[in-house]
Amino acid sequence: MTQTEIPLDSTIVVDKIVRNKAWKWYEYFTFNTDHKVIGIQYLVTAFVFYLIGGLMAVAIRVELATPDSDFLDPSLYNAFMTNHGTIMIFLWVVPSAIGGFGNFLVPLLIGARDMAFPRLNAIAFWLNPPAGALILASFLFGGAQSGWTAYPPLSEITATTAQSMWILAIALVGTSSILGSVNFLVTILKMKVPSMKWTQLPLFCWAMVATSLLALLATPVLTIGLVLLLFDINFGTSFYKPDAGGNVVLYQHLFWFYSHPAVYLMILPVFGIMSEVIPVHARKPIFGYQAIAYSSLTICIVGLFVWVHHMFTSGTPGWMRLFFTVSTLFVAVPTGVKIFSWVATLWGGKIRFTSAMLFALGLLSMFVFGGISGVTLGTAPFDIHVHDTYYVVGHFHYVLFGGSVFGIYAGIYHWFPKMTGRMMNETLGKIHFILTFIGTHLTFLPMHQLGLQGMPRRVAMYDPQFTSINQLCTIGAFVLGISVIPFAINIIWSWMRGTPAGDNPWNALTLEWRTSSPPLIENWEVSPVVTYGPYDYGKNSTHQHV
């Protein structure tokens, strides 16, 4: 076989392939169909938007350090608050967790040479930068100011041009998510190497199956809701205008039918990362493999039946409150299965406190705390009491920042050697973890107290009695902002000058570590053969290195 030939079992679709050579740096800025390039494109682009959204968050916290509106103009505060949430969810966590790690890892984990539809994969990525550009350009027209939920009638009467740009941006991101989900499902179901049994499929892949199914079921519903809102704003329709026969609560149903499962879209891939990182750095087989795999699918199913707990104050009848309280509490069960399995895996393990493992442990603790506060919000009486207060803000930041972002960091520290062929600096990594861990608690833990005391969210001016707690949260936000500095330095320096990693610096057993670092353009010289499980640490001395 010559270097330019494509193996008969390959489904790669590219114009030119040069095997056994690495991509040039400038090719990462092109329409490249290699899943590894696309994964890194997702991660880098998402991190840029993370910095932008983070700067907005710092500006918001500076404004909230005092009770008066003395730093941001009220309309600019509303725009920052709206687009901070939008950017962090749709342009940071979702693209990095699903697009970034999903694209880079899935073909490597199953022994494939690329994704099933490489060109479609590239198109899915290139829908994201225009979406981000639309959101940033919307500030030229005042910025969308109705919150990341965009509830009408507020979204229909404030900064309508900017709001329309916001809607189009979310439609682009949603289309990207749908295209990616189809690709992941076909790739995993059809392209794993024949020697890999379904019971040997890495748990990250099970998480991506559940994530993709959820995205395919829920994302079109959000798109429909936003298209109707776009028509109301621009073309005189009245889908959500009560004075013309519309119904604003209809929008809430359409929005939350997607946007609560969106929490699982963000957290399920991160759960998959946890299931890959913990056994490697604990040097133990994963506890409850089947339970973890099936719990991902259970979360996918049950997660579609909990959305109304966001609407307990929207005039929902009692029977509906009862049903969705029960379903919300039930979704905690498969999540608890995962938590128990990870703790059982850690128990008695030879734990290596690497940066990746520290962030995984940090996620474990924070997600448990966020899950407990989530259970309280799932019960209608308590939720009505703290609805639209800072208790809710504290809860979802523990789940999404303490959960998703910590998991993304764990994944980056774990797979950076595979992506680049170089190790990250562990000292800088530990500094990054300490600052992030302290900053997260300092920023978001006091918000629960603010909410219990009745401070409403989404407002720039508040009662002076809340000043001292808000100042504590602002200090924490600055610590979080500073925490990014050692991480950015570590990434740039390690990528250029880091210690060579070798093919398998962690002595891991999943397939991605059986190719070079960084991997060959087509991943494998010869398709790998699976002869043992992905988590069989200590079970076979012929492949085990402790």
| Residue 355 confidence (pLDDT) above 80 | yes
How many Å apart are CA 269 and CA 272, to the nearest integer? 5
Distances (CA, A) of 316 to 239, 321, 377: 20, 7, 16
pTM for the model:
0.93
Contacts of 59 (CB under 8 A, 6+ apart): 71, 72, 80
Of 505, 486, 420, the C-alpha closest to 36 is 420
* Identity at 172, one-letter amino acid code: L
How many Å apart are CA 37 and CA 323, to the nearest integer? 45
Go through 14-49 and write b for each residue having 16 or more CB atoms within 10 A of its CB, e for each that does not: beebebeeebeeeeeeeebbbbbbbbbbbbebbbeb
pLDDT band at 25 (very low <50, low <70, confident <90, very high): confident
Q: What is the mean pLDDT of residues 345-359?
A: 96
As beta bridge partners, residue 523 has 520
pLDDT for 23 equals 81
How many Å apart are CA 260 and CA 271, to the nearest integer? 17
Angle at 370 between CA 407 and CA 42, to 5 degrees: 30
| Residue 2 confidence (pLDDT) above 60 | no
pLDDT for 540 equals 58
Q: What is the mean pLDDT of residues 476-493?
A: 97
pLDDT for 18 equals 41
| Residue 11 confidence (pLDDT) above 60 | no
pLDDT for 27 equals 86
pLDDT for 241 equals 94
| Residue 19 confidence (pLDDT) above 60 | no
| Residue 182 confidence (pLDDT) above 80 | yes
Q: What is the mean pLDDT of residues 507-529?
A: 92
Structure tokens at 68: 């008066």
pLDDT for 16 equals 40
Backbone angles phi, psi at 500, to 5 degrees: -55, 135
Per-residue DSSP letters for 242-287? GGGT--HHHHHHHHHHHHTHHHHHHHHHHHHHHHHHHHHHHTSPPS
Contact 178, 216 (CB under 8 A): yes
Give percent of the chain with pLDDT exceeding 70.
95
pLDDT for 544 equals 45
Contact 162, 230 (CB under 8 A): no
pLDDT digits (tens, 9 = 90+) for 267-278: 999 999 999 999
pLDDT digits (tens, 9 = 90+) for 199-242: 999 999 999 999 999 999 999 999 999 999 999 999 999 999 99
pLDDT for 21 equals 64
Q: Which residue has the higher pLDDT, 542 or 368?
A: 368
Helix (H) or strand (E) holding 98: none
Task: Point out the least confidently predicted range of 186-190, 311-315, 391-395, 540-544.
Answer: 540-544
Mean model confidence pLDDT for the chain: 92
Backbone angles phi, psi at 508, to 5 degrees: -90, 165
| Residue 98 confidence (pLDDT) above 80 | yes
Contact 367, 403 (CB under 8 A): yes
- Hey, is 421 helix, strand or coil? coil
Angle at 209 between CA 376 and CA 325, to 5 degrees: 20
pLDDT band at 530 (very low <50, low <70, confident <90, very high): very high
